[in-house]
Chain A
Amino acid sequence: MTEISVIMPLYNGETYLAETLESYQRNAFPGVELIVVDDGSTDSSVEILKTKVPSVKLLTQTNGGPSKARNLALQKAEGTYIAFLDADDLWPPGTLEKLHGALSHNLEAGIAQGKIETFASGPVAEQIRHRLKDEPFYGVNLGSSLFKREDLLRMGGLDETLRHGEDTDFWFRCWEEGLEKTLVPHITLRYRLHNHNMTTEAASDAKMLLPLLKKHRDRMRGRTPKSSVSLTEYLGW
């Protein structure tokens, strides 16, 4: 029986993929499966993947974007719990065990969330350098958390119409639905900053929020969020 399905969208990720897969393998235990959705990679990503993790469930789509990839994997996942890992990020050893322990022992909670530590690989563009944080923090990157598959399916997965900020949008919806979280006071994701991260400026960052705000406003017409805390508190900031 599958306990945890780990979902990874992949597109031309050969630079960091091997390191990411090693961190996955250090975390995997019996009952953990890896589902990768390749979005039409033209580099050696798929070969690296098959060599490093022969048991991988490999799905393909053509240029559908990361949200669609995650949703496709979600439909095929069999695990009671779902974790997400991007092809360039890392899980410290023991991450899955800690998240799984926290969530499976807290019947009220739908999400176990740990902290994110940022690190740089090579020079980081000036525009995104502010994302390098001195201290680990609770953030919106899905890779730091473990979810229940039934909740994700009920909520319809990630919003495929969003090109950016789909993870932030997802947390908005978890908060609106009152999905309880249990916090794990450990680093559960090492988030890599590198020059292939999307280059942004502060203003365009903010502009990406506009579709999320409109969607939130539309959903909240005539009702209030079910969570008892503010969204900021909910996100743990």
Chain B
Amino acid sequence: MRIRENTQKIVSDLIDGEMMLLNMEAGHYYSLTGTGAALWESIRQGAERAGLLSALQKAFPAQDSQQITEDLDSFLKELVEEELVVECTECANGKPPFEGEYAPPQLAKYSDLQDLLLLDPIHDADESGWPAAAS
């Protein structure tokens, strides 16, 4: 089964090294930790469970394969349950850019601002042509 980001409902972005997701329809927001952020980089465009698993095993050969499989399946199950991903057929099959030590992919869910996020809280205070702030 190939899956990709549920772009109808979800926006996601890497913010200061942390992958953040927002479900605009449900008003929950999420953080992906461990190998979750790199996995999501692939899933955004489209990815297959088998491809993700083999990429994990290849990137972390010292890690117990059974544990990696369980971690990945549990992570993917949560992504599906939270409707963060949808099935796709004609989507890419990317390879996740893993870095560093293995850490189980985890999804942290936040619902403390749900009532607000179901509204439209961004005010466009900007003007066209305002120069980008110096970084």
Q: Which residues of A contact B (CB under 8 A)?
A: 11-13, 39-40, 63-68, 86-88, 128, 130-131, 139-142, 160, 163-168, 195-200, 202-211, 213-214, 216-217, 220, 230-232, 235, 237
Contact = CB atoms under 8 A, between A and B. Distances in A.
Nearest to B133: A65
29 contacts: A12-B129, A63-B131, A64-B133, A65-B130, A65-B134, A86-B125, A86-B127, A130-B120, A141-B123, A163-B132, A164-B122, A164-B126, A168-B123, A196-B127, A197-B127, A198-B124, A198-B126, A203-B7, A203-B24, A206-B22, A209-B22, A209-B121, A211-B20, A213-B20, A217-B29, A231-B113, A232-B115, A232-B116, A237-B116
Given A139-B123, A140-B121, A63 B134 contact: yes
A209 B117 contact: yes
Contact of B122 (A67, A160, A168): A168
B131 A39 contact: yes
A206 B11 contact: yes
Given A210-B20, A211-B15, A213-B113, A11 B122 contact: no
Contact of B124 (A87, A131, A216, A237): A131
* Main DSSP-derived SS at the B contact region: loop
B128 A207 contact: no
A207 B125 contact: no
Contacts of A160: 133
B13 interface: yes
Interface residues of B, number: 35
B29 A66 contact: no
Nearest to B20: A210
A174 B15 CA distance: 23
Contacts of A65: 130-134
Contacts of A206: 11, 22, 24, 122
Contacts of A216: 113
B13 A207 contact: yes
Contacts of B110: 213, 217
A205 B122 contact: yes
B119 interface: yes
A68 B124 CA distance: 17
B14 to A, nearest CB: 9
A194 to B, nearest CB: 9
